[in-house]
Chains A and B, each alone.
Chain A
Amino acid sequence: MTDTQRTRRNRRGFIKAAGALTASGLAFPYVARAQDKPIRIGVPTILSGRVAQLGISSRNALQIEVDKFNAAGGLNGRKLEIIARDSKGKPDEAANNTRQLINGDGCEIIISAESSAGAFAVQEVIRELKVLCIHTNSETSSLSADPKIRVPTAFRTARQGIHDAIVSAAYAGNVAKAKGLKTWMTCSPDYAYGRDNTSLFLEYMKRFHPEIEMVGEAWPKLFQADYTENITKILQAKPQALYSCLWAGDLVSFLDQSGIYNLFAQTTLFAINMADYTTLTAVKNLPAGIHSSSRYLKTFPAVPENAAWGDAYKAKFGDYPTNWSWENSLAMTFLTTALRKVNSTDGAKLADAIRGMKVKSPFGADGTVTMRAEDQTTIGYAIGWGTTISKEPYVPSVTPGDWKSILEHEAEWKKKMGFA
């Protein structure tokens, strides 16, 4: 072999080797990148304004579950990643954000941690784009109950308004009978949730305990600062019992302002949204004996898994979780179970897996929660009422709702509404 041939061969070899190296450099990282590419979960939610806690405590709960899933190896090496966008509580921004999260940020799954106002807007985007969506905070029943609104790839892990109304009225009716509370009044925020919740409560209250007499109603604005005129109106009407679905800071202001009028010396309060740590800890002079539904309590359900989850959340974020936190955590249980089962992020495949799925959960009334197939909403979650004391555990004893009764009355309600 001449020197010239050797040089040519060496040059050819070099070019081949370089080509192969380049090719492998292009090809292998491509494979590696595909495996490493995280599965993005888009979270349209409210992160600013008066109800920022809605989004913050939702995102916190999601992050705990994402970290757990990733630590366990993810989905064949693919990690989950949360991308949250602030809708400020506006439906148009919720819809825009959802679209942007899917089309712009490459999110393959949506967790809609929006209030009811935003959730309905997100639902319409999901109808069009067909990715998997789980509504975690909207309690308005029609979102999943109404077949015209329902979407095949959209589910709900938030509690449902109709379930709350049935349990609330059953509990309040029993207390009213036992204590002779005949005259009732309501004081709820004047917007869709406040009106729906209160009218459903009254409907079932009159059914379970027809002897009650309504002596008035007060409708403060949402986020009203001063409730004096509502409180004085209640004082004038002198009801024996008051039902309210005021929530968060509004409920705290109402309680503080009612306290200095000594309102609860003459009236028994049934505040459905009281038993949530954010509210319980914010009221400085929490009156004993307020009746409330369990929003989130680490003592209800009284199982070690629930207490451990509440404590772990507090250890990580400094505060106890909220009602919205457990609803988001539950969503992740359904999602991660489905991801492992179908090994895909395809919306239709995941939806097929989640529809009818029953999962073990610390938030289940019997340790499990089911995603009912017919309307793609959860049943069997822990729901109950109790009375407050001024320190932990805040609601020492919770009377659980009866799911058999809830489902019977819900079926009737669906027929009446034309949903079934």
Chain B
Amino acid sequence: MDPQALLTCLSTASCVITQTTGGLISGMLLFLVAAGLSLIFGTLKVVNFMHGSLYMLGAYFAYTLYTATGNFTIAVVGAALGVGLFGLVFERLFMSRVYNTDVLMQLLVCYGFILILDDAVKIIWGAEFLSMGMPAAFQRPPIMIAGGILPVYYLFLIGVTLGVALLLGLLLTRTRAGKIVRAAAVNPTMTSALGINTALVFGGVFALGGLLAGLSGALAAPVRSMVAGMGFSILIESFIVTVIGGMGSIGGALVGALLIGLVRSFGTIGFPLFTEGVMFLFMTLVLITKPSGLFGKEH
């Protein structure tokens, strides 16, 4: 524990800016994964344990597209859409068959696909770790704000993620499609009785969740090395985020992810050996005081 270092940091603008933006960056990528996980749970009432693998696929798809085209935009958009499509196929062919079964069966299906996808990655891309490298457009000195440092790529990343969060919020609250998703989440039988194809809704939601995870993986590809199994750690953190924010709440996922990002960023200065512990402690406190999460609805 080094509270003095933390106080010193909090009293200097450069440290506050650097650490805050650092926390935002970690939080934003986490948000994209957690939002998809939360959306799928909120609507389909299944916990997608292979969501981390979709993040991994996004990173590898982006790597392949970027290597083939040299265009980062194509790589990110193509990877996100590709993983979304994979999510749709996976939901229709496999997950849809276990909706009404025991949660252990759902876990088994997901775990099976985690292993299959990890092995598929090893067969296709190899067991060795890969690095995509920073696209030329972002290879420039970081921006200095009041002595604080903000890399250009991270500024882009925060912008894209905030834009996605806004679009997602608008989609769910202001559009007919969003209303249908919310209705299917509350009462799928009644929604179906009103002539709405709920199977299509469920497939669409799973695809959207996959798209968000794929987007996160693609955006992370220039700065995080890729290896089979890389989705596991982000899956654990996404679960913490969704528990803190509330299962099914996109806003909760955003707040939870940013909280985790900031705790890690400032925690590494003030309590470097207990940063992970603080995350879990915070999750435990939320579970005790508000089991449905900060923004989750009571059942």
**A binding-site residues for B, Cβ under 8 Å:** 48-50, 52-53, 56, 217-219, 221, 223-226, 228-233, 235-236, 248-250, 252-253, 256-257, 259-262, 278, 282-285, 319
Q: Besides A229-B268, A284-B131, 17 other CB < 8 A contacts?
A: A53-B129, A56-B128, A217-B272, A219-B272, A225-B233, A226-B29, A230-B268, A232-B149, A233-B272, A235-B149, A249-B225, A256-B225, A260-B152, A278-B129, A282-B225, A284-B133, A285-B133
Interface size class of B (residues with CB under 8 A): 35 or more
**A50 and B234 within 8 A (CB):** no
B268 nearest in chain A by CB position:
A229
Q: A226-B29, A282-B131 given as contacts; is B227 within 8 A of A50 (CB)?
A: yes
Contacting residues of chain B (124-146) with chain A, CB-CB under 8 angstroms: 127-134, 138-139, 141-142
**B264 and A229 within 8 A (CB):** yes
**Residues of chain B lying within 8 A (CB to CB) of residue A252:** 129, 131, 225
Max chain B CB contacts within 10 Å: which of A56, A219, A256?
A256
> What is the CA–CA distance of A233 and B269 in the complex, to the nearest angstrom?
6
Q: Give 5 nearest A-B pairs by CB, closest first.
A: A284-B133, A249-B129, A260-B151, A249-B225, A52-B127
**A53 and B131 within 8 A (CB):** no
Q: A221-B276, A226-B26, A229-B19 given as contacts; is B225 within 8 A of A253 (CB)?
A: yes
**Residues of chain B lying within 8 A (CB to CB) of residue A52:** 122, 127-128, 228
> What is the CA–CA distance of A56 and B126 in the complex, to the nearest angstrom?
11
Binds A, one of B169-177, B207-215, B216-224, B287-295: B216-224
Closest approach, in angstroms, between the C-beta of B131 and any C-beta of chain A? 5
B25 at the interface (CB under 8 A from A): yes
Partner of A283, one of B23, B131, B226: B131
| B96-130 to A contact mask, C-beta < 8 Å, 1/0 | 00000000000000000000001000100001111
**Residues of chain B lying within 8 A (CB to CB) of residue A262:** 141-142, 149
**Residues of chain B lying within 8 A (CB to CB) of residue A248:** 129
**B268 and A218 within 8 A (CB):** yes
**B binding-site residues for A, Cβ under 8 Å:** 9, 14-15, 18-19, 22-23, 25-26, 29, 118, 122, 127-134, 138-139, 141-142, 149, 151-154, 220, 222-230, 233-234, 264-265, 267-269, 272-273, 275-276
Partner of B18, one of A224, A235, A284: A235
Partner of B273, one of A219, A259, A283: A219
Closest approach, in angstroms, between the C-beta of B278 and any C-beta of chain A? 12
Q: A236-B9, A236-B269, A319-B128 given as contacts; is B223 within 8 A of A253 (CB)?
A: yes
> What is the CA–CA distance of A344 and B224 in the complex, to the nearest angstrom?
49
Please name 15 pairs of A and B residues whose Cβ atoms are closer than 8 Å in the assembled complex, sorted by A: A56-B128, A226-B29, A228-B26, A230-B268, A232-B265, A233-B272, A236-B9, A236-B19, A259-B134, A260-B151, A260-B154, A262-B142, A262-B149, A282-B225, A284-B132
Partner of B128, one of A53, A217, A224: A53
